[in-house]
Amino acid sequence: MLQSKLFYKTSKEVSVEEKSVNAQLLTRAGFIDKLMAGVYTFLPLGFKVYKKIENIIREEINAVGGQEILMPALHPKEPWETTGRWAAVREMFKTKSQTGGDYGLGWTHEEIVTPLAKKFFNSYKDFPFALYQIQTKFRDELRVKSGLLRGREFAMKDLYSFHTNEKDLDNYYEKVKEAYFKIFNRVGLGQRTYLTFASGGAFSKYSHEFQTVTPAGEDIIYLCDKCKIAVNKEIIGESKESCVQCGNKNLKEEKAIEVGNIFKLKDKFTKAFGYNFKDKDGKEKQVIMGCYGIGLGRVMGAVVEVYHDKDGIIWPPEIAPYNVHLIALKSGDDSLDKKIEKKTFDLYESLQKKGIEVLYDDRQEVSAGVKLKESDLIGIPVRLIISEKTVVKDSAEFKKRDSKDAELVKINKIAKLLNG
């Protein structure tokens, strides 16, 4: 991508009400634009990151047998009345049609997916199966001061699994847990994300959250350094904190962001919708369910909260908008500048041919200082500079965003270094 054509604009400051680090940096670097509190546009740079997160999630959920579907965001009232959540859930946005009917905007999809599954699969032979979508949710959240961490409109991956018995649900639940660890490792949050025991409500003793430790977190967790798991303060209270696995009383209190959760719903929704299956013995029995969520924007926001410095964002390689930020710096000498431009453009093309994604800062009228500042702000993992100093040696300056050291690398060695 030529930076001269990229739809973005960096800024030094953002509005004072934008308090969170993720919204500040993502806005200043031109990744997102705020429409109103809790509602953002993803600009080209931001959308590239979003798509990479989406694809990682898709790959790992496909790998545990999830089948992707896309359910509507606009819902009728009736299934929500069946479960009692139409009246009970204040976060649900509700709207009236001009013809008088009541509709709601989906903030989760148990009320849609359960009747859907019931329509299609009813024999023990059909089970187990799992359906998921990556789709927009709407929630009338009270506190929307955390940028992408808490939106009123946001993308979620929601997976629902259907089983004929608890053992099967338990097995699948463990598989999804592993898939979640893979996902959080790949997006770069693995080191700081802990399986956290949280309240399971009426159906099971615990549910599990995946909590990323950072000062920006809204949740408080107690972390066991031995087991590398945590418990959420909400369920255990401050008084009797101890590790649910080893009993360790020496837990570390941390702020954390819930980036995902997994939940055994058991028969909560299948009972409400009368979803049974016909077993081998010909008898009708209750289907049971699990549900599993990850917020895409919340993951992106959490990554920025964890990976930044005073100069800007530091993207983990697998979700960076580009692999390389290639920058041409002018010398002031016309013939030398032509050479710099040609070398840089040739490198841009050859890297792209090798499948490396390059943002090429080809802008003519922009100073070296501004180019370098913007590069740090945007946070692409590798920066390559071709300038007067490097071009005479047929080289480029190679620097990683998370390192202070730069080195001169021969241009014909760069692709290998990047793919290495």
Nearer to ligand ATP (CB atom), residue 79 or residue 381: 79
Range list of β-strands (E), 39-167: 39-42, 67-68, 74-76, 94-96, 102-105, 129-138, 153-163
Q: What is the smallest separation between the CB atom of 179 and ligand ATP, expressed in angstroms?
A: 15
Q: Which of 31, 40, 138, 154 binds ligand ATP (CB under 6 A)?
A: 154
- With respect to ligand ATP, which residue has the nearer C-beta, 299 or 414? 299
Per the CB < 8 A criterion, the answer to whether 376 and 315 are in contact is no
The distance of closest approach from Cβ of residue 141 to ligand ATP in the complex, given in angstroms and rounded to an integer, is 5
Cβ proximity to ligand ATP: between 208 and 343 the closer is 208
b/e map of 209-234 (b: 16 or more CB within 10 Å)?
A: bbbbbbebbebebbbbeeeebbbbbe
DSSP label at residue 369? H
Residue 121 near residue 102, CB atoms below 8 Å: no
Q: How long a stretch of residues is the chain?
A: 420
Q: Which stretch binds ligand ATP (CB under 6 A): 173-181, 182-190, 252-260, 354-362?
A: 252-260
Q: How many CB atoms lie within 10 A of CB 336?
A: 15
What binding mask, one character per residue, do residues 282-301 give for ligand ATP by CB under 6 A, x or -? -----------xxx-xx---
Given the complex with ligand ATP, which of 46 and 151 has the nearer CB atom?
A: 151
Q: Of the listed pieces 14-22, 148-156, 355-363, 387-395, which binds ligand ATP according to CB under 6 A?
A: 148-156
Nearer to ligand ATP, 132 or 360 (CB): 132
Per CB under 6 A, does 156 bind ligand ATP? yes
Is residue 150 close enough to count as binding ligand ATP by CB under 6 A?
A: yes
Contacting ligand ATP within 260-279 (CB under 6 A): 260-261
Q: In Å, what is the CA distance from 362 to each residue of 290, 342, 397, 413?
A: 50, 11, 16, 22
> Which residue's CB is nearer to ligand ATP, number 143 or number 283?
143
Give the contacts of 183 (CB within 8 A, at least 6 positions apart): 56, 57, 60, 260, 294
Q: Which is closer to ligand ATP, CB of 155 or CB of 320? A: 155
Among the listed residues 49, 169, 259, 326, the single contact to ligand ATP using CB under 6 A:
259
Q: For residues 368 and 387, what is the distance between their CA atoms, to the nearest angstrom?
A: 10
Phi, psi for 245 (deg, rounded to 5):
-95, -50
Residue 303 CA to residue 119 CA, distance in Å, equals: 40
Q: What CA–CA distance (Å, rounded) separates 252 from 67?
A: 39
Q: Which residue's CB is nearer to ligand ATP, number 261 or number 344?
A: 261
Nearest distance in Å: CB 391, ligand ATP: 46
Site string for ligand ATP, 318-357 (x = CB under 6 A): ----------------------------------------
Name residues whose C-beta falls within 8 Å of residue 393's C-beta, 6 or more positions apart in sequence: 408, 410
Residues facing 195 on adjacent strands:
210, 229
Cα–Cα distance for residue pair 337/388, rounded to 1 Å: 8
- Binding footprint of ligand ATP, residue count (CB under 6 A): 16
Shortest Cβ 85–ligand ATP spacing (Å): 12
Q: What is the smallest separation between the CB atom of 220 and ligand ATP, expressed in angstroms?
A: 12
Q: How far is the CB of 294 from ligand ATP (least distance, A)?
A: 5
Q: How far is the CB of 149 from ligand ATP (least distance, A)?
A: 6
Q: Are 386 and 329 in contact (CB under 8 A)?
A: yes
> Which residues contact ligand ATP (rule: CB under 6 A)?
108, 139, 141, 150-151, 154, 156, 258-261, 293-295, 297-298
